[in-house]
Structure 1
């Protein structure tokens, strides 16, 4: 029996597609997922987030006190959901690789400096590609702000509200939870799972279009905030494609984390006002 449960390997015919990109000589060969395995990993990340946002959070909000009870509940439950994604990731890598030693994790999750497609060199000036990507991601966030989220479910709107100011003023405990939310969102959760684990294992099914499929899966993963799905499709070009082209999940992590840095800066300012 295959020891990889959700990470079911693709059939032999899928791993020999003519359009499957060649693997650089300095990279470890990684098992490819079958379509069922890809969808299974997606579901294991997306469905709990949707359940936590739309079912658990309203129930929890009824038992909380103070201003903005629903935003409080969402912060708690979605942080838990993102922590689960990190746990899921460790389970998948451990079952696939048999160990969680750093050298294995680094190769298994593309945690290497970006690699030049033509020369094979890593790092150096290649990191500059992150700068325009951060600008593009920021523009995407401005566009997504036009979409109207249900009341109490938009973090940016909450931070700018009187209730958000009251909740965070002097509240170092809430700030600690929000730091955890940010870290597990853009570093240890979403990006590491989608760009570090899934993307390198999707070419067996999707060939050279694996980054397109990865971007679409990432967009529809946002069941917890479906109003953002249309603009999140842009991440196919801002996060998925650069991560694939330069064979580094660190690009997606760096670009996506720029959002976290800005939000945490705003939150810290609100806490210090207390």
Structure 2
């Protein structure tokens, strides 16, 4: 089955649709490494370092590897579907295009302006208090505020580089490319125009590595998924989600150079 996702066929190449089973299998293959990395591999690595920052190191390493795995998944699945990884094909297959204007029914650079309200709405969702902050040692934002976290990152360019790599694969090359670039355009056959809602639910449930964030993640994901759905461009999810990357990178950098 192929679908043009309600956009003009001249603008969007037909994309083969996934069955519910295939969507869930793809979700599971991305989710399980994140859960295993956070709850099995990271503690095991921490026991090998046996110091106050062992768990932090373990989580950073394990989750970075799991996020890189998502990028490799996307590359493999696109190649299997399209038979090539040439950029013009990948751009179409993963919706890495100039946004589509629903009002004008053409791809239009003017639609980029809609990133501003999207970012404002995302900021509002992030201001809602979490049900739980989770374990302090597993909350990077809290770790960065501790003396131990500050001491660990002070002058530590190597681990700063790893954090940046993790964040880039988180919001650009990993999660967003998988959920909004690969899965969302292939969910319309199974869920119709409600695909973006299901996509948001799956993205929230994917956070088994941080289950205490699932409620807030769902709210944020509705911004990523809806704007990607409405404007037929995965860049909306990538750019809005990457606000997190910029903030965390700046915070860690401030500790490195302190």
Count of residues in correspondence between the two structures? 257
TM-score, length-scaled by structure 1: 0.89
Distance 2:129 2:64 in 1: 21
The answer to whether the aligner puts 1:24 opposite 2:8 as a matched pair is yes
Structure 2 residue ranges without an equivalent (≥5): none
TM-score, length-scaled by structure 2: 0.95
Give deviations 1:42-64, integer Å, cap 9, x for gaps: 00101110011011111110111
Tell me the equivalent position of 2:44.
59
Tell me the equivalent position of 2:117.
132
Tell me the equivalent position of 1:170.
155
Following superposition, the deviation at residue 219 of structure 1 comes to 0.6
1:88-237 → structure 2 map (5 Å cutoff):
88-145=73-130, 147-237=132-222
For the 8 Å contact 1:243–1:251, the answer to whether it is kept is: yes
Distance 1:258 1:155 in 2: 16
Going from structure 1 to structure 2, the CA distance change for 1:236 and 1:261 (only over 3 Å counts) comes to: closer
Following superposition, the deviation at residue 145 of structure 1 comes to 4.9
Specify which structure has the higher proportion of helix.
2
The answer to whether the aligner puts 1:41 opposite 2:22 as a matched pair is no
Which shows bigger deviation, 145-154 or 164-173?
A: 145-154
Going from structure 1 to structure 2, the CA distance change for 1:29 and 1:77 (only over 3 Å counts) comes to: same
Distance 2:175 2:30 in 1: 8
Following superposition, the deviation at residue 72 of structure 1 comes to 1.4
For the 8 Å contact 2:60–2:166, the answer to whether it is kept is: yes
Alpha-carbon RMSD across the aligned residues, in angstroms, is 1.6
Give deviations 1:15-68, integer Å, cap 9, x for gaps: 68xxx9534221100000011110011001011100110111111101115432
Tell me the equivalent position of 2:69.
84
Following superposition, the deviation at residue 144 of structure 1 comes to 4.9
For the 8 Å contact 2:34–2:63, the answer to whether it is kept is: yes
Distance 1:132 1:22 in 2: 23
Give deviations 1:146-205, integer Å, cap 9, x for gaps: 622113110100111111101100000001100100100000000010000000000000
